[in-house]
Each structure stands twice: as structure tokens, then as C-alpha cells.
Structure 1
Amino acid sequence: MKNYHIIFLLLLLTSFYQCDNNKKPTQKSVVLSKEKKVKKEVITKAWDSLNRHNTEAFLTEYGKQNTENKVIIKTDFGDIKIRLYNDTPVHRANFIFLTKINYFNTTVFYRIAKNFVLQGGNSDEMYTMKQRRKYGNYLMKPEFRKNRKHKYGALAAARQWEKNPDKLSSPFEFYIVQKRSGAHHLDGEHTVFGEVISGFSVMDKMSKVKVGVDEWPVDDVKMKVAIIE
């Protein structure tokens, strides 16, 4: 009888050992699967949002995936069509990015300096402020090009002059040269990244609006910006 008990116990132990061995590969497989999933999520998350830490990398990659270079600025005075330069890739990509998230659609031309520039890209609208907070106060390295001058109709990036020795561009604000002879004293100071291809008469109309002492129009000059191609 004792022999039967011993045999039974040996069979039982053998059964548990085999079950335990059978479970281990399954558990290991699940862990590996989770690790791969987490790794993929981390990679994706790195490109979720543009910020001051990944500015150049994000916009360089974004530019490769979004190659449009023509936009239209719609105002109550008419439309201005603009071609963005491919040889200023980071600034071009940034303008396309902001256009696609509808950032500009709640902004205004907040500075009208007659016979000089029309400057826009900011406002006190909640959506505008929310977007600026979301992406942070990131800046862009200048992309100066000898053949990109502040001619009549040039599109350029605004920037802070004080405490900005590297001449880093503001991502949100831009200006268009309205002076027919250009604004060449700004060459090498601000990145020119596009030019007006139609709508020069609209620029002249805008330049005549009534402004305050700070050159901010008395009545808001609103804009809507959209991709053409």
C-alpha cells in the first residue's frame, strides 16, 4: 500500500512541475509584449507636441511630411497669397504647422506701420493664448540666405531684439514688407522665409487703416490663413 502512495505522490509532483514549466513561456511572452508596446508609445509620444526642447527636430520632420509651400491670408480687405521658401525649411514648416492647427485664425494684424510693414500673428483671443501656452515659448534658429532679402512683399519672422544675440525667430508672429523700396536695413537681422505673389493692392488698403500711437489698428484687422498647395 505504501508503494502505491509513493508512486501517486511522484506522479502528482511530476504533474505540477510540467504545469509550472508550461506556464513560464506564456508569462515571458506577455512581459515581452508589454515592453514592446511601452517602447512604441514612448516613441510616438516624443512627437506628440512641439515644444522648446524639440523645436528643430520636430519641425524638420514635420516639414518632410508636410511639403506645402503656398498659403492664402484672407482679410476684410481682400486676399494675400504667399509662397513660402523651401530653402528656409524650419520656418516654412513652422508656418504650415501653425496654419494647419488654425492658430492664425484667431489672430490679427496688430501693427500697421504705413510705408513699412504689416505685422500679425497675435491677439488677446482665448484660443490664441491657449495655443501659445500649449506649445510653449519655443524659438527658431535664423535661416538667413543671401538671396532672401527684405524686398517689397517679403514675409519675415518677428523676433525680440533685446537679449537675443543669436537672432532667434518668434514662431508665432510675422510681418510683410509693405514699403515698395523694401526694408533692407533688416537683412541679416530677421529671417525672410516667403514672399507675396498676389494681393499687393490689399496690402496698400490695409496700410491706410486708422491706428493708435502704438500702430495698433483702432479696428482689428482679422485674418484667416489656409493652405493653397
Structure 2
Amino acid sequence: MKIAFRVSLYFIVLTLFWACKNDPEPRKYPQKSQKTKAKDTIPEVIIPAGGENDVDVSHIKTLTQETLEDYLEKYEIQNPESLVKVKTRFGDFKIQLFAAEKLHRVNFIRLTKLGYYDDTFFHRVDSGFVVQGGNSDKPSTQKLRSKIGDYLIPNEYNPLHKNNYGFVGMAKPPSQKVSNASSAFEFYIVVKKDGAHHLDKEFTVFGRVIEGMEVVEKISQVETDASEWPLSNIQMDIDVLR
């Protein structure tokens, strides 16, 4: 059943391209005989629920598209942080979030403080392009998403912040074909040495790795299945530093 889900997931990513995962032991998936890559696109990945984890969401305020910007504007007053540490089994790295892309930065800080990312994986790896995180196949992740809210973040493209090596941007839902609004949850880190500038303007870059890029490089070299999901899950844990 899980293989069928993964095949369906890969089909979604491939279709989008042509139109323009705190486990103490990482879960293993059977290796495919040949890896097929979905090239040069950053869709938000739709993952059916699986696994056994659950989470309490009673403390979370649900946002809507209509309440999003006003809420984040007020949230920023008491939550102005812009530096986070991402911890993985490969080591840690730090991301500096940019001030200019305010909605993206504040949303990322809020989700980090809610513990959302601690329930997710680096679930997509393309060694010559990006590593993508912020989702998982655990029902707890989908429960968190539902409670946090079904909204998109307006595009905040800044010509000073492009898809250079080590820079961090937000993915887009596969269904998002009208505007360049971002996913509220999934982010990517560019590992292509000369950048991924075909993504400029369409995707909002809102930070960059300032320490530990070698850890990101290690993540980018793991083995994956045909849908670019690592064969051994890469759990993350993110802390707000300042």
C-alpha cells in the first residue's frame, strides 16, 4: 500500500514539472532498482497518513487565508527572532532568516515554536538540486497541518535574495498554478553549486544556511527511492536561537 502511495506521490511531482518524512530508529524502505528524478521543481509534497504517532493540538490557533497577515503582523511583535538551529542525525546547521520576507520568516518561527518541524523529515532529496523538508508520512504531521491552518503565504520575492547555493526557500502546493504563493510548511535548501536560478521570482527565498552547510551536503547524498524519499528517514528538530 505504501509503495502505491509513493508511486502516486511521484506522479504528482512529475506532472507538476511537465506543467511548467521523533523516530528513534529511522524507518527503512525497500530500495528501487533504478532512481528516477523529478527535475528542477519544488512542489509541496502531498503525503498520505501512515505510521503510529499522535500529537496534542489543543493549544494551536487555526489560521485562515483571511486572518493570516494580520495575525503574523501581531505575532512578530512578541516573536522577532530570525536565527534557528536545525538538528539531524547527520549533525546541526544554522539558518539565518531574512527580515525582508517578513511573512515567511514569522510563519517559520511560529511553526518552529509550535513544534511542527520536530514532527517532520527531510522527505525529498535531489543531490544535484535541493533537499526539501517539513513533511512526513505520520498522521501526527497531517493533524498538525490541519490544526495550524489551510493557507498560503503570499509571494515575497526579493531580487537581493535569489536561489543561490545554501539559500532557503518555501515550496509551493502542486495545485498552485495561478500565483506564486508559498506552502505554509515545506522548505527547501539549494545544494546546486551554481544555484537554482530558474526558481527565482516563482519561489520566495527567505533565509540562508550560515553554519553547517556540510551537514546539508551529507543529507543531499543519501540514497532515495524513485520518488526521492530517503530510504532511511531523516528526522529534524528545530530550535529558535534568537
Shorter chain as denominator, the TM-score bin is: 0.7 to 0.9
Distance 2:176 2:223 in 1: 32
Mapped pair 1:196 → 2:209: yes
SS of the equivalent of 1:172 reads coil
Q: How does 1:63-102 map to 2 (within 5 A)?
A: 63-102=76-115
Q: What's 2:139 paired with? A: 126
Unaligned runs of 5+ in 2: 1-59
Q: What's 1:179 paired with? A: 192
CA deviations 1:75-99 (Å, max 9, x no partner) are 0001110000011110000000000
Distance 2:149 2:61 in 1: 14
Deviation at 1:72, TM superposition (A): 0.6
Q: How many residues align?
A: 183
Distance 1:102 1:162 in 2: 26
Structure number having the greater helix percentage:
1
Q: Which has the larger radius of gyration?
A: 1
Q: What's 1:153 paired with? A: 166
Contact conserved, 2:63 with 2:150, CA < 8 A, in 1?
Answer: no
Deviation at 1:50, TM superposition (A): 2.4
Distance 1:182 1:223 in 2: 24
Over the aligned positions, Cα root-mean-square deviation in angstroms equals 1.4
The TM-score normalised by the length of structure 2 is: 0.73
Q: What's 2:118 paired with? A: 105
Q: How does 1:198-217 map to 2 (within 5 A)?
A: 198-217=211-230
Cα gap change, 1:109/1:48 in structure 2, threshold over 3 Å: closer, same or farther?
Answer: closer
Distance 2:131 2:61 in 1: 33
CA deviations 1:32-87 (Å, max 9, x no partner) are xxxxxxxxxxxxxxx95423331111112112221000001100001110000011
Unaligned runs of 5+ in 1: 1-46
Distance 2:98 2:195 in 1: 18
Most deviating of 66-75 and 52-61: 52-61
Most deviating of 101-110 and 203-212: 203-212
Q: What's 2:15 paired with? A: none
The TM-score normalised by the length of structure 1 is: 0.77
Q: Which amino acid aligns with 1:91?
A: H
Q: What's 1:142 paired with? A: 155
Q: 2:180 aligns with which of 126, 142, 167?
A: 167
Q: What's 1:52 paired with? A: 65
Contact conserved, 2:61 with 2:148, CA < 8 A, in 1?
Answer: no
Distance 2:164 2:119 in 1: 28
Deviation at 1:147, TM superposition (A): 0.2
Cα gap change, 1:58/1:178 in structure 2, threshold over 3 Å: closer, same or farther?
Answer: same
Distance 1:98 1:84 in 2: 14
Distance 1:65 1:51 in 2: 21
